Structure 1
Amino acid sequence: MNPTATRPAQAFLPDFCGTGRVVDVLVICQLVAVVLALSALQTARGFWFSLFLMSLYLQWIGIFSVAALCLIRRHLGHLDARLVAGLSYTGLLAVTFALSEIVYLAGPQTGIAPLVADISHQDFLIRNLGVCAVVSALGLRYFWLRDAWQRQAAAEAEARYQALQARIRPHFLFNCLNSIAALVAMRPADAERAIEDLSDILRASLANDDRPLVTLREELDLVDAYTRIETLRLGDRLALDHAIEGGVMDWPLPPLSLQPLVENAIRHGVEKLPAGGCIRIAAEQEGEHLIISVTNPRTDTADDGGGLHQALANIEQRLTLRYGTRASLRTARGPDRFSVVLRLPAGEDVAV
């Protein structure tokens, strides 16, 4: 079955109940009135009077058409989109027919008589309904095609997002297993504890597979578990410091946004220093955004390899696919420090 055939009307019909949409329609109606008045231009005085009458007529059609589409979407939006498209088309024609009838019948007794002068009742209705039929069909078709394009783009973005996230998971798992393998022969008890931590990490990771967002608290728990595994290998050379502002622990963010950064901080920073070092994770709210920084020590001669750049590019692409320009990833490289700063907007609620 074609999924577009059974989707609800909200999927393609814009919300015409908002002030912004009403203004857009009225502006379009006014532009059409200017074009029609110019096409019938005879004298400057006649132009302004014709523009006034045409604007009055088209603005009323625009207002009642927007009201009809608002009511259809609000009360019939749960129906099949094709049915609602048909009802919308019929409603627009009905609005145009009713107002055309009112204008033609009331014209001779009012100041709008020039609109219906020198034209028969039948021709007046046919002309107006013909214009409405063409414009309404084009408008509804545009909304339908725009929705189809948006759905396809969203599906492609989601597929790409999942592919990027899937690339991070095996890399993370292999590094954990390598760390555990280094402990098995000489420190089997520590290796056993590391396996338990890895089991907890994988259990939580699998549980979050269907969740587009997790909380900062859950992401930090994953980071802590991973750091415990690496601490068994690096000992006192590795330390982790949290500086988390109160009230941000439930902030939503994509899964595996922090763990790869901490992993890079260990692989390309702490691990290369004979004395090791401390990785600092800071988080604070700044307006409508959460600012997270991960800072690690490094040597001034450190070579930031391809793995670092691949992980950063992966996270940056996932943020772009999820948030667009509302999120960002920046890096700062000094002689002895390396920092990654994430700027994340307030997103939708985290699914549980």
Structure 2
Amino acid sequence: MNPEREPVEFLPDFCTGARVLRVLVVCEAVAVVLALGGSLTAVLPERFLLLSIYLQWIGICSAAALCLIKRYASRLSARGVALLAYLTLLAVTFAITEITYVAGRYSGFALLLEDASHDGFVARSVGISAVVAALALRYFWLRSAWQSQAEAEMRARLEALQARIEPHFLFNSLNSVAALIAVRPDEAENALEDLAVLLRARLATNTPANVSLDEEMAMVDAYVRIESLRMGERLTFDVRIDEDARACQLPALSLQPLVENAIGHGVARLPDGGTVVLQASRERDTLVLQVVNPLAGDAPPVPGNRQALVNIRHRLALRYGDVAELRVTAEESRFTVDMIVPQPAESVS
């Protein structure tokens, strides 16, 4: 792997409780294997208990060491972090093994020694640690490389989404502006400014990964105002946003396509039009968004709607994992999209 392509952030954050819990689960699994690998005698339960304590001790200390490496060794290269993490895990195992061997003579841990020599006990423990640590670090490395590649592909999709200007939308918008110039020049000027906002957002090459809900709503409102010129009273846009949700963060260009779908694939296909309802609220550490639009029950599905939803779902998964969610509910006369985006504590002032 070329240095410029190294997954520098390959090491997970072991400062979180969820990561530590996973480490303890792996250690417990190793304890089960080692316990069953010995003789099946009456002392098996006691041996399993001592192995669990011994390996959990190593696991907790190893997670703490990796937490410190992640926090304070960020200036090292990816290979440097990997080597430092590997040697640290071996050192932690060696230190705890030495303490266990010395203390085992005077405690119940003597059962783990099984009359083994000092060198044999240390070599066995460090050897198992070397294999497990190598496999774990290799997994983290490959996982980070895959995630980097997936994020690059998603960035390419986002750039394609930004560059995609719907020809019919652009044609209809310019026609509406042309019709307004002579009779309502102020509205025509405002429409051109709204169109410029959308074009700038779609064609920008330095779009931030996350924007506030207020910033995303600027694009949503611009799009709705332009569509209102064409659809008139057929389009009603009902916005219900809680004040504490306005500063919440979400991926750029994630809400505007949902409103675009709601209008283009819902309201625009109804002879009498309809209402698009947008609701946003902050619930504890999440931003909850809902977009609801009416459906023409007998109309065939329009290509492109599902692809936009798939793209947004993939972006949420890459950025937030399984914490974020995009739910779609299609009823006979109503289409609902719920988007849940996790929020860090500092995202709202």
Distance change in 2, residues 1:171/1:94 (3 Å): farther
Q: Which residue of 2 aligns with 1:105?
A: 102
Residue 86 of structure 1 pairs with residue 83 of structure 2: yes
Amino acid at match of 1:34: V
Q: Which residue of 2 aligns with 1:17?
A: 15
Distance change in 2, residues 1:257/1:48 (3 Å): closer
Distance change in 2, residues 1:199/1:290 (3 Å): same
Residue 116 of structure 1, CA deviation:
3.0
Amino acid at match of 1:158: R
Residue 130 of structure 1, CA deviation:
1.6
RMSD: 3.4
Residue 152 of structure 1: which of 136, 149, 152 is its match?
149
Residue 34 of structure 2: which of 25, 33, 36 is its match?
36
Q: Which residue of 2 aligns with 1:262?
A: 263
- Over the matched positions of the two proteins, sequence identity in percent amounts to 35
Amino acid at match of 1:203: A
Partners of 1:259 and 1:23 in 2: how far apart? 42
Residue 258 of structure 1, CA deviation:
1.7
Residue 21 of structure 1, CA deviation:
2.5
Is the contact between residue 6 and residue 80 of structure 1 (CA under 8 Å) also seen in structure 2? no
1:12 aligns to what SS in structure 2?
coil
Is the contact between residue 316 and residue 328 of structure 1 (CA under 8 Å) also seen in structure 2? no
Q: Which residue of 1 aligns with 2:315?
A: 322
2:115 aligns to what SS in structure 1?
coil
Amino acid at match of 2:11: L
Q: Which residue of 2 aligns with 1:200?
A: 193
Is the contact between residue 219 and residue 256 of structure 1 (CA under 8 Å) also seen in structure 2? no
Partners of 2:274 and 2:291 in 1: how far apart? 13
Partners of 1:150 and 1:116 in 2: how far apart? 43
What's the CA shift string for 1:198-240, capped at 9, x where partnerless? 4313321244241455646314421343135316xxxxx6344
- In structure 2, the gaps of 5 or more residues are 318-323
1:258 aligns to what SS in structure 2?
helix
- TM-score w.r.t. structure 2 length? 0.77
Residue 140 of structure 1, CA deviation:
0.6
Distance change in 2, residues 1:25/1:74 (3 Å): same
Is the contact between residue 198 and residue 219 of structure 2 (CA under 8 Å) also seen in structure 1? no
Amino acid at match of 1:292: V
Q: For this pair of structures, how many residues does the alignment match?
A: 321
Residue 27 of structure 1: which of 14, 25, 33 is its match?
25
Residue range with higher mean Cα deviation, 135-144 or 65-74: 65-74
Q: Which residue of 2 aligns with 1:291?
A: 290
Is the contact between residue 11 and residue 140 of structure 2 (CA under 8 Å) also seen in structure 1? yes
Residue 49 of structure 1 pairs with residue 39 of structure 2: no
Amino acid at match of 1:61: I
1:31 aligns to what SS in structure 2?
helix
* Higher CA-based Rg: 1
Is the contact between residue 219 and residue 259 of structure 1 (CA under 8 Å) also seen in structure 2? no
What's the CA shift string for 1:166-221, capped at 9, x where partnerless? 4354442133235456x4xxx76149667534431332124424145564631442
Residue 124 of structure 1, CA deviation:
2.4
Residue 5 of structure 1, CA deviation:
2.9
Residue range with higher mean Cα deviation, 131-140 or 59-68: 59-68
Alignment of 1:198-277 (within 5 A): 198-208=191-201, 209=204, 210-211=207-208, 213=211, 215=214, 217-230=217-230, 238-247=233-242, 250=246, 252=250, 253-264=254-265, 267-270=268-271, 277=272
Distance change in 2, residues 1:195/1:79 (3 Å): farther
Partners of 1:266 and 1:106 in 2: how far apart? 75
Residue 68 of structure 1 pairs with residue 65 of structure 2: yes
- TM-score w.r.t. structure 1 length? 0.76
What's the CA shift string for 1:260-280, capped at 9, x where partnerless? 53345565334xxxxxx4532
1:327 aligns to what SS in structure 2?
strand
Partners of 2:108 and 2:124 in 1: how far apart? 21
Partners of 1:229 and 1:190 in 2: how far apart? 13
Partners of 2:174 and 2:5 in 1: how far apart? 45
Partners of 2:175 and 2:5 in 1: how far apart? 48
Residue 6 of structure 1, CA deviation:
6.8
Is the contact between residue 195 and residue 226 of structure 2 (CA under 8 Å) also seen in structure 1? no
Residue range with higher mean Cα deviation, 165-174 or 51-60: 165-174
Distance change in 2, residues 1:194/1:229 (3 Å): farther
Distance change in 2, residues 1:140/1:221 (3 Å): same
Distance change in 2, residues 1:347/1:168 (3 Å): farther
